[in-house]
Chains A and B, each alone.
Chain A
Amino acid sequence: MKKTIQMEELVCPMCAQKIETALQKAPGVVSASVLYNASKAKVEFDETKTNVDELVKVITGLGYVVIG
């Protein structure tokens, strides 16, 4: 399943990289990429192993606010 998560404005490329790496390492995630300028995370994941709430937790855990 694919999901796009909109985050608050990302202000440094490092933030984007940090979130991307964390998502990629999260269990059940097949692939993840963060669009820096759009402040969006595109995640493809295995629904049987994880869910959107878990992914949102990964991002908020790093200190970033998820908008939608």
Chain B
Amino acid sequence: MLKLNAWIKRFSIPLLWGAGILIALATAFSHIFSVKIVADMCFIAAFVLSGVPILLRAIQALRFKTVSIELLVSIAAIGACVIGEFNESAIVTFLFQLGSFLEQKTMKKTRSAIRALTEMAPTTAWRVLENGTEDAFETEEIDADEVEIGDILLVKAGGKISSDGIVVKGDGYAAEASITGEPMAKHKTIGDTVYAGTILDSGTVQMRATKVGEDTTFAKIIALVEEAQDAKSPVERFIDKFAKYYTPAVIAIAAAVFIFTRNVDTAITVLVLACPGALVIGAPIANVAGIGRGAQEGILLKGGDSIHTFSKTDTVVFDKTGTLTEGVPEVCIQKDYSEEANQVLALAASVERASDHPLANAVIRYAADLPSYEAESVQNIKGCGMAASVCGRRVLIGTRKLMEQNGIELTGQVLNDLEEVQSSGASIALIAVDGKIETLLGISDTLKADAKDGISRLKNMGIADIIMLTGDNACTASAIAAQLGITEYCAELLPEDKLTVIRELQSKGRTVTFVGDGINDSPALAAADTGIAMGSGTDVAIDNSDVVLIKSDLKSLVRSLKLSKKTVLTLYENIAIAVGTVVLLLIGLFAGYIHMSIGMLIHEASILVVILNAMRLLIHNKKEN
């Protein structure tokens, strides 16, 4: 039987054609030449060609204790044969096979979004051999699977990067669309991380492999998406259970119809019409399409369950840093009280180079274009700032307290500015040179460019509550919340407090989505109904969240919510189409309009309709961006 099976699979298309031609011949013989016996012979032959494969599949399913749709069709077709309706048997089985064939083709298309992603997997790599020198080295081409951690690999322009790694030599531009969905190529130079599956657009680099094979970010994304497609939502699980009892129930109903009406024709027609084909396929195909579409855009949805819950979100909680703000403090305000502003800044930055404090780094970046000097006798005054001599001048940089401790006078102007900058939520750095305050810097975490727009779009989509959580002080929090149009915020929180906030919201019956940057957020990500990790493909984030946004912007958050809602809508549409078709067909049958073959035609059409409906999720629409 296995051999027969393999043979049928190999010749499925010629078999289908054969059955189709035989049916055409049979119709010609019966209607044009009125030779019934030849016509029936052709119908029987066609029935064998398309019926045997169906019967085989039905028997295989029975071995797994499953009453399949194929069994319903087999019984119906054999029943039709028994009562001499050979044409019905032939047409029904042919249509069923034709339907399966088209279903296969369209399914393939729907799954292609992810197939396209997997095809970007690297196949070979150029390993730099150890015997060469710095400039004269040799390479060998190896299989991408053979790359080991620590190998030095050569990537030339146009080449595919075969493992995650760090650039050790050269530079170039890498197109990372397969990982981030970002169309612009990124500049990569020594020390930068490159990812497997991305392409070096221009330049030549040598890289050291740090993650290989299934551990690369690319491989993890693919594995996640592939498993997500098979992860079922509650609705799907319900349908699966339903179908398990429904299919045998249809046989019972058909039997009952036969007992009461004594009409074999009606009984077997029930079998065909009540096939749950579109119902069984409608829900999963919507998820497959939705997940595939997301993967193309750097949105990883972890299965039907996640999509379902996410689409019902009514409260979005943000962990401020890294989601709404860049997470890197920058100098955003500068007030000068002297004529030599640049020189003061250059002196201050020279002092700050001795520190690795985030605020010091902000000042250094801010003064990057200015000359730098040697700082002597540097003092680090913990929690207050720094002091040093630079170019023979005494430089102090730090808080108001540092100035007061050193007996430096704060003029009315400085005090005014202090208050103003503090109320905007920024941290303060005062710079004093030779005992006089020369400059005041306001340093704060900058908002992401699209944060405000994203928040208002979420509100427009019906998210009732948007709440911002932060470990920062209340002053900074309120300033940032006000800029974004967020009314609710909680400041000075410890990581465990974030968890408490989420639990409280949930106990009030809210469906909570928590958005974090994936670092230190694991408990909150796990506790929320939907945990979203933004802007990182780190392992922890992928494991603990329901949605992973590879791009770190609010636009993809809004997009992912839209996509989830659309996927769920498509799923329900498909269920409605499937159930509606069966109900209408049954009504039609008992009203006397529907016969077996026309019923089968409509039934197969409904399967194609649900697949095509799901495929709409894959269509790129400019308006969506």
Q: Please report A residues at the B interface, Cβ cutoff 8 Å.
A: 9, 11-12, 14, 17-18, 21, 35-38, 40, 61-63
Contact = CB atoms under 8 A, between A and B. Distances in A.
B68 A36 contact: no
B100 interface: yes
B304 to A, nearest CB: 11
Given A63-B2, A63-B5, A63-B9, 11 more contacts: A9-B111, A11-B103, A12-B57, A14-B64, A36-B229, A37-B111, A37-B229, A37-B230, A38-B229, A62-B5, A63-B6
A32 to B, nearest CB: 14
A34 B108 CA distance: 17
A3 B172 CA distance: 35
Contacts of A63: 2, 5-6, 9
A38 B104 CA distance: 14
B100 A11 contact: yes
Given A9-B104, A18-B60, A63-B9, A37 B2 contact: no
B288 interface: yes
A62 B61 CA distance: 14
28 contacts: A9-B104, A9-B108, A9-B111, A11-B100, A11-B103, A11-B107, A14-B64, A14-B66, A14-B68, A17-B64, A18-B60, A18-B64, A21-B64, A36-B229, A36-B230, A37-B111, A37-B226, A37-B229, A37-B230, A37-B284, A37-B288, A38-B111, A38-B114, A38-B118, A40-B226, A62-B5, A63-B5, A63-B9
A29 to B, nearest CB: 18
B227 interface: yes
A14 B61 contact: yes
Interface residues of B, number: 24
Q: Which of A11, A14, A37, A40 has the most CB of B within 10 A?
A: A37
A11 B226 contact: no
A14 B71 CA distance: 13
Contacts of B284: 37
Contacts of B6: 63
Nearest to A4: B214
Nearest to B100: A11
Contact of B104 (A11, A14, A36, A37): A11
A62 to B, nearest CB: 7
Closest 5 CB pairs of A and B: A38-B226, A63-B6, A37-B229, A63-B5, A11-B104
Q: Which of A9, A11, A12 has the most CB of B within 10 A?
A: A12
A40 to B, nearest CB: 7
Nearest to B64: A17
A38 B276 CA distance: 24
B222 to A, nearest CB: 9
Main secondary structure of the interface of B (DSSP, over half): helix
Contact of B2 (A35, A36, A61): A61
A38 B284 CA distance: 13
A26 to B, nearest CB: 15
Interface string B68-107: 1000000000000000000000000000000010011001
B242 to A, nearest CB: 15
A38 B536 CA distance: 24
Q: Which of B107, B108, B114, B230 has the most CB of A within 10 A?
A: B230
Nearest to B240: A13
B124 to A, nearest CB: 14
Contacts of B61: 14
Contacts of B226: 35, 37-38, 40
Contacts of B66: 14
A7 B1 CA distance: 21
Contacts of B103: 11
Nearest to A39: B111
A15 B446 CA distance: 54
Nearest to B10: A63
B609 to A, nearest CB: 18
A67 to B, nearest CB: 11
Contact of A35 (B5, B107, B108, B230): B230
Contacts of B230: 35-38
Contacts of B9: 63
Interface in B1-21: 2, 5-6, 9
Nearest to A8: B9
A42 to B, nearest CB: 9
Nearest to B110: A37
A14 B60 contact: yes
Contacts of A61: 2
Contacts of B100: 11
A21 B114 CA distance: 26
Nearest to B103: A11
Contacts of A21: 64
Contacts of B229: 35-38
Given A9-B104, A35-B226, A38-B226, A62 B2 contact: yes
A14 B68 CA distance: 9
B287 to A, nearest CB: 9
A68 B450 CA distance: 43
A37 B108 CA distance: 9
A52 B53 CA distance: 30
Contact of B57 (A9, A14, A35, A36): A14
Contacts of B108: 9
